[in-house]
Structure 1
Amino acid sequence: MHTNVLKIGTRGSRLALAQSEWVKGRIVSRYPDIRVELVKITTTGDRILDSPLSRIGGKGLFVKEIEDALLEGRIDLAVHSMKDVPAELPPELFLSVFPVREDPRDALIAAGCRALGDLPRGARVGTSSLRRAAQILSLRPDVRIVPLRGNVETRLRKRDEGLCDAVVLASAGLRRLSLDTPSDCLLAPDEMLSAVGQGALGLEVRRSDQAVMECLAFLNHPETETAVRAERAFLERLEGGCQVPIAGWARVEEYGLTMDGLVAELDGSRLIRDRVAGRPEQAETLGRELAERLLAAGAGQILGRIYGEAGGR
């Protein structure tokens, strides 16, 4: 960290900038003497828009270039959407802060529809997420999934242009962009379990940069950190990235930590799902335990086949 300048690395999409501007505003309010600059960085996932992410392969499609800038000292911290961050980080880097989480649920955007069951038979549903597609097909095998890439505004525009009848998007992104979505469009977790880290932000720093860690510590929300660390331990044990049909949602409640996890066949023909509960301080242990339960129930065979068809992890 320079004397009084803090450089934040961010993707250049409107949503990524809105998230980073929020972090910048909180830092400036807390430390008026610090000048905060946003550094826009284009990632592999941003450059390749004509192919489904699952076909591009690899992990960290939306974070690698930002992490490179952090490792090289061109930025002091990175603001990530946690659902984009692989389970494994470069050893020199650390996720030190998790601000309070937004609603992790998905939203169905479709005229006159408030639930997947309301969609007309044969409806075209736009999504680039294998996780969403599998859960949609499990409930509605009659619908057709239309691969849809691009930022939030692009996907909404494609629906308006008639490319599809409905789109499923993260509620958190819509809220952060101040795009009004009726609350009854939100999909319940029992029919659409969210991605690991969905709705949460993570601030990544160099492990050696204690000054930056201390500067950012006030932004951390302990309950969010506990839930996200449980989810990431779950993802790591499954050796998964953000582009496989894995879902996981943990939350700290009055009586402890509860987490649901799911692994699905791509066509939705089989969903393996389970739940664990325990003490918040056991977060990562509980995440791994949930993964072990799913593996014992057959999740390993599903993931092995998907990774094999994709040509590896």
Structure 2
Amino acid sequence: MSLKKKIIVATRPSLLAYIQTLQTVELLQKANPDIEFEVKKFSTQGDRVLNRSLTSFGGTGLFVKELEHALLEGEADIAVHSLKDVPSFNPEGLKLVSYPEREDSRDVFLTRDGLSIDDMPQGFVLGTGSPRRKVQLADIRPDINFKEIRGNIDSRIQKLHDGEYDAIVLAAAGMNRMDKNFDEEMLLDVDLCIPAIGQGALAIETRVNDLECIDIVKKINHKATEQAVLAERAFMAEIEGGCKFPLAAHAVVDGKYLNMIAIVGDVQTGDFIVESLEVTIEESISKSMELAQKMKAICKEKDINFYQ
């Protein structure tokens, strides 16, 4: 009797990361019943440093570098990432090869008493460290007092209920994956608050020369999700932005077409621009890059410095 092939799956130790990895492994197991999957936790810098804002100590790659090191050193065969945490370019020898079906990509506006952002009192305190969220929500309510917030979903919700914040904004995808209930009326429409690039999507990374692992994980790839997030990431790579900047893009596939809306801004002044496109799937990557070039030119013309 032959032993099953074992695949070591790298994940971050946070509860959300672990749960979404287990959910991904469940999909992989169904698609590959003859393979054994073992989940292994690797702590990242983003997990260890909780007393500083992400933008203050690097931002890009803080939740993926140690997992990628494990892949390169042969300590793991595949890694499951929240795609919004993954930089534009992969280290040499690694690549993203599979994108399971995307969760809800929108943000959720949470308060203690269920008030909408329009109904909140003057000068309310909103917990977020995201420049993307700050510029968009300040456009809706210029009186918001923003306050940095870190920690997992439960600790953030607890801080809200303890009165440290009057409102917080969380990703709906994380709430859904953790089975956290919320009023759907609290979802922020994409046109109101464009999500982070890759928000709601997961990505599976492996070594470029591990053809067997690539074949295994591609069995759960969701084509429409892949097409949408590749367009978003092409935009991100071309505009050369990251989580330090008010930058967002969200794409949706509709048949043969892809629709995308994007924003870049200046977190110091609150100025930003929004552009959109509708293109065929075949030209979505090149047109997303052209959109980034166009928006960079507009920023330069209007003196909007989103790289600071």
Name the CA distance, whole Å, in 1 between partners of 2:76 and 2:157.
32
**Counterpart position of 2:204:** 203
TM-score using structure 1 length: 0.93
Name the CA distance, whole Å, in 1 between partners of 2:306 and 2:28.
43
TM-score using structure 2 length: 0.95
State the 4+ residue runs in structure 1 displaced beyond 6 angstroms. Answer: none
Q: How many residues align?
A: 305
Contact persistence 1:136–1:268 (CA under 8 A) = no
Q: After superposition, what is the alpha-carbon deviation per residue over 1:151-191, rounded to whole angstroms, capped at 9, x for unaligned?
A: 11111111111110100000000000000111111001121
**Counterpart position of 1:227:** 228
Name the CA distance, whole Å, in 2 between partners of 1:75 and 1:263.
36
Contact persistence 2:112–2:161 (CA under 8 A) = no
Name the CA distance, whole Å, in 1 between partners of 2:79 and 2:231.
21
Secondary structure of the equivalent of 1:249? strand
Q: After superposition, what is the alpha-carbon deviation per residue over 1:226-248, rounded to whole angstroms, capped at 9, x for unaligned?
A: 00000001100111123321010
Shift of 1:255: 5.3
Q: After superposition, what is the alpha-carbon deviation per residue over 1:264-291, rounded to whole angstroms, capped at 9, x for unaligned?
A: 2214631211001111122211221221
1:55-204 matches, cutoff 5 A: 55-57=56-58, 59-113=60-114, 115-204=116-205
Name the CA distance, whole Å, in 1 between partners of 2:92 and 2:227.
21
Shift of 1:31: 2.6
Greater Cα shift, 82-91 or 292-301? 292-301
**Counterpart position of 1:239:** 240
1:75 maps to amino acid: A
1:146 maps to amino acid: K
Which sections of structure 2, spanning at least 5 residues, go unmatched?
none
Secondary structure of the equivalent of 1:219? coil
Name the CA distance, whole Å, in 2 between partners of 1:172 and 1:93.
26
Which sections of structure 1, spanning at least 5 residues, go unmatched?
307-313
Name the CA distance, whole Å, in 2 between partners of 1:87 and 1:39.
25
**Counterpart position of 2:297:** 296
Secondary structure of the equivalent of 1:194? coil
Contact persistence 2:107–2:193 (CA under 8 A) = yes
Secondary structure of the equivalent of 2:218? helix
Name the CA distance, whole Å, in 2 between partners of 1:167 and 1:207.
39
2:10 maps to amino acid: G
1:277 maps to amino acid: E
Shift of 1:305: 4.9
1:158 maps to amino acid: K
Contact persistence 1:86–1:242 (CA under 8 A) = no
**Counterpart position of 2:9:** 8
Q: Taking structure 1 as reference, are residues 257 and 65 closer, same or farther at Cα in structure 2, changes over 3 Å only?
A: same
Q: Taking structure 1 as reference, are residues 303 and 12 closer, same or farther at Cα in structure 2, changes over 3 Å only?
A: farther
1:36 aligns with 2:23: no
2:160 maps to amino acid: R
Name the CA distance, whole Å, in 1 between partners of 2:220 and 2:289.
27
Alpha-carbon RMSD across the aligned residues, in angstroms, is 1.7
Shift of 1:109: 0.5
Name the CA distance, whole Å, in 1 between partners of 2:177 and 2:244.
23
Q: Taking structure 1 as reference, are residues 39 and 112 closer, same or farther at Cα in structure 2, changes over 3 Å only?
A: same
Contact persistence 1:263–1:299 (CA under 8 A) = no
Shift of 1:253: 1.3
Name the CA distance, whole Å, in 1 between partners of 2:132 and 2:272.
11
